[in-house]
């Protein structure tokens, strides 16, 4: 696991600039560094050594030195690809998986990305035609950012690496702020930095003569195949264990994160690791926010060590600005801070960990997926009548029951934008001062592209498809990559594997979700080796007591200070922010998610723009 930066080279002091850019991401690769600079391109690399510890340094050149690679990720089928490439006449100088990507591009061109099993973002510069080929893995596990200025194409693993470049102009993208207030993350290819973009998952590009052309090389297709739960449970267990075995490839020790739920527990048991890692929070509400006891009990059951840490409120709040800096873009998911702390804990013992990200999206794990299946007497009323009631209720105070009537008068495409739905367009426009932000499209518009691709599917499949394409990349994998790499730790996600995905998309709805359970076939698979209480446990996922803290005087005042700051006044109607905070503190309504979303942006802004 590593990090890279690069730019087309038309500036003075290119080596010094490149060095400063590399320094900004030293946390991604503290073990080694490398540079390649010529008249047309500058490439920088920071290495965290996992496979072929002595070799495998980058930038990496092919046999005739006509192509140069910088690569971030792991290729789990690299040994098989290596054998095939050797049979085709390629000569290898290392045992690193990254060299397979370089020779694979020589052999298969852009189609190399379809052969790779793993997580990756990479760039290959071809000297002959001065073109740049780049790609990102099918899920977006590894990040890739780029910007095109008048004279340079700048790219890399993190946006903060762009800041030292003399042509990079740091400017806030106010449209991204509007979207973020609804989604709690940046949901489009555009980022919070004006003219900086994310390469979408499952895309490759060619940059030549100042222009970039992107191509999508993979789309998940849900083509269900008839079968009973027990059949799919057997297939899941077999496929997941094979994926875990592939993900264990390393020349260093591999550990595993462990919460109290099925996903990480299943991975930890299948991987047969020696060490697992868990964090919890101090709280006045018993063990609601602390999974350490459950995790330790499970670790004892499977005979592995569990190393844990209790995070104090003081630690959480003090570390929060640093974590937002590491994220590059604001992310208002409170669990990201827990993930940072468990990554820090794990990095003191191992270089690689496995985790359970992706299971919910692929196998139907979120409770909200049950909503389309939960029919009441009200749902049997004509949809036209329910839509009329919904429209009326939008003008009523948000008392108990009103939101239910609003949602039940809308189609799934109208009401579901993902696991986080913080502010509606109307709500965010009452808070925002920026006219640019106010004119930004409604959240639903951003989802339409993906809903259109699964228009004929059932509502649950539509929700899963949307989350795979938006929520997974924008929230789940962003925090997984940035918090682990901030601590020089490689995080691997065996659920997000092309073979596991191929199986998951064949599961009938009855094997995913019903009115009483989620992840039905996955839970049945887990029961083969896990205690039933673990296999059937509801999802928690490092819960954080934000709601409680915001009602305590100390943290209420901390947030209020931000809500009445000059930064807040620049972008928001601060009286409305303070009113929202006061309503929550009095206990009338839980507005913690809305408050935290705004607060997170203000803290992030202070790190990058103040």
| Strands 196-198 and 118-126, sheet pairing | unpaired
- Taking the C-alpha atoms of residue 91 and residue 510, their distance in angstroms, rounded to an integer, is 50
Return the bridge partners of 133, or none.
Answer: 124, 206
Q: With contact defined as beta carbons under 8 Å apart, do 11 and 45 qualify?
A: no
State the Cα torsion 241-279-185-587 to the nearest 10°: 130
Q: With contact defined as beta carbons under 8 Å apart, do 451 and 470 qualify?
A: no
ω into 27 cis (within 30 of 0):
no
Structure tokens at 551: 């009602």
Distance of CA 217 to the CA centre of its chain: 20
CA angle 449, 492, 419 (to 5 degrees): 35
- Taking the C-alpha atoms of residue 477 and residue 8, their distance in angstroms, rounded to an integer, is 28
Nearest to 43 by CA among 62, 58, 27, 24: 58
| Strands 153-156 and 254-257, sheet pairing | unpaired
Biggest distance spanned by C-alpha atoms of the chain: 72
Q: What is the DSSP letter of 395?
A: T
- Taking the C-alpha atoms of residue 191 and residue 186, their distance in angstroms, rounded to an integer, is 6
Phi, psi of 293 (to 5 degrees): -60, -45
Q: What is the number of residues in the chain? A: 610
Could you give the strand order of the β-sheet that contains 32-37, starting from the edge strand earlier in sequence? 32-37, 41-47, 2-8, 153-156, 145-148, 196-198
Name the residues annotated as catalytic.
Answer: 2
Instruction: For residue 195, count other CB atoms closer than 10 A to its CB.
Output: 14
- Taking the C-alpha atoms of residue 436 and residue 174, their distance in angstroms, rounded to an integer, is 6
- Taking the C-alpha atoms of residue 441 and residue 78, their distance in angstroms, rounded to an integer, is 43
Q: How far, CA to CA in Å, does 290 sit from each of 265, 278, 442? A: 16, 9, 37
């Amino acid at each position: 696991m590593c990090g890279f930066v690069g730019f087309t080279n038309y500036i003075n002091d290119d080596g010094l600039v490149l060095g400063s850019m590399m320094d900004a991401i030293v946390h991604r690769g503290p073990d080694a560094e490398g540079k390649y600079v010529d008249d047309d391109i500058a490439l920088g690399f920071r290495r965290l050594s996992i496979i072929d510890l002595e070799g495998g340094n980058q930038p990496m050149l092919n046999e005739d030195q006509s192509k140069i690679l910088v690569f971030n990720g792991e290729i789990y089928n690299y040994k098989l690809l290596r054998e095939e490439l050797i049979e085709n006449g390629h000569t290898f100088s290392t045992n690193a998986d990254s060299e397979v990507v370089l020779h694979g591009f020589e052999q298969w061109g852009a189609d190399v990305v379809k052969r790779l099993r793993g997580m990756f973002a990479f760039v290959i510069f071809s000297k002959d035609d001065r073109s740049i080929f780049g790609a990102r893995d099918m899920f977006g596990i590894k990040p890739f950012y780029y910007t095109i200025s008048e004279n340079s194409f700048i790219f890399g693993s993190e946006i903060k690496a762009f800041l030292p470049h003399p042509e990079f102009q740091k400017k806030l993208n106010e449209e991204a702020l509007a979207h973020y207030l609804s989604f709690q993350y940046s949901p489009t290819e555009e980022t919070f930095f004006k003219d900086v973009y994310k390469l979408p998952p499952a895309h490759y590009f060619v940059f030549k003569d100042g222009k970039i052309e992107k191509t999508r090389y993979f789309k998940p297709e849900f083509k269900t195949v008839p079968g009973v739960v027990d059949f799919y449970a057997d297939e899941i267990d077999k496929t997941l264990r094979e994926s875990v075995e592939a993900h264990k490839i390393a020349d260093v020790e591999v550990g595993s994160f462990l919460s109290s739920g099925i996903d990480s527990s299943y991975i930890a048991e299948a991987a047969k690791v020696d060490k697992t890692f868990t964090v919890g929070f101090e709280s006045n509400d018993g063990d609601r926010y602390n999974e350490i006891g459950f995790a330790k009990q499970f670790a004892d059951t499977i005979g592995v060590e569990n190393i844990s840490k209790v995070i104090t409120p003081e630690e959480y709040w003090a570390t929060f600005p640093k974590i937002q800096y590491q994220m590059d873009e604001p992310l208002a998911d409170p669990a990201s801070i827990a993930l940072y702390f468990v990554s820090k804990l794990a990095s003191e013992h191992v270089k690689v960990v496995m985790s359970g990200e992706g299971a919910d999206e692929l196998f139907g794990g979120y409770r909200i997926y049950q909503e389309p299946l939960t029919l009441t007497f009200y749902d049997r009323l004509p949809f036209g009548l329910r839509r009329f009631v919904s429209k009326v209720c939008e003008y009523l105070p948000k008392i108990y029951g009103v939101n239910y009537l609003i949602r039940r008068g809308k189609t799934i495409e109208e009401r579901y934008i993902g696991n986080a739905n913080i502010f509606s367009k109307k709500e965010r426009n009452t808070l925002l001062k920026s006219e640019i932000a106010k004119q930004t499209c409604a959240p639903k518009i951003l989802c339409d592209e993906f809903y259109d691709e699964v228009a004929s599917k059932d509502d649950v499949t539509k929700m899963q498809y949307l989350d795979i394409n938006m929520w997974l990349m924008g929230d789940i994998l962003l925090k997984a990559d940035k918090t682990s790499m901030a601590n020089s730790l490689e995080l691997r996600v065996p659920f997000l594997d092309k073979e596991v995905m191929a199986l998951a998309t064949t599961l009938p709805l009855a094997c995913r979700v019903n009115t009483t359970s989620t992840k039905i076939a996955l839970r049945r698979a887990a029961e083969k080796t896990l205690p039933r209480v673990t296999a059937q446990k509801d999802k928690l996922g490092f819960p954080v007591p934000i709601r409680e803290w915001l009602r305590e005087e100390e943290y209420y005042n901390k947030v209020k200070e931000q809500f009445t700051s000059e930064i807040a006044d620049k972008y928001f109607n601060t009286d409305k922010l303070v009113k929202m905070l006061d309503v929550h503190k009095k206990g009338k309504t839980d507005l913690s998610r809305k408050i935290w979303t705004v607060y997170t942006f203000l803290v992030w802004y202070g790190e990058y723009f103040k």
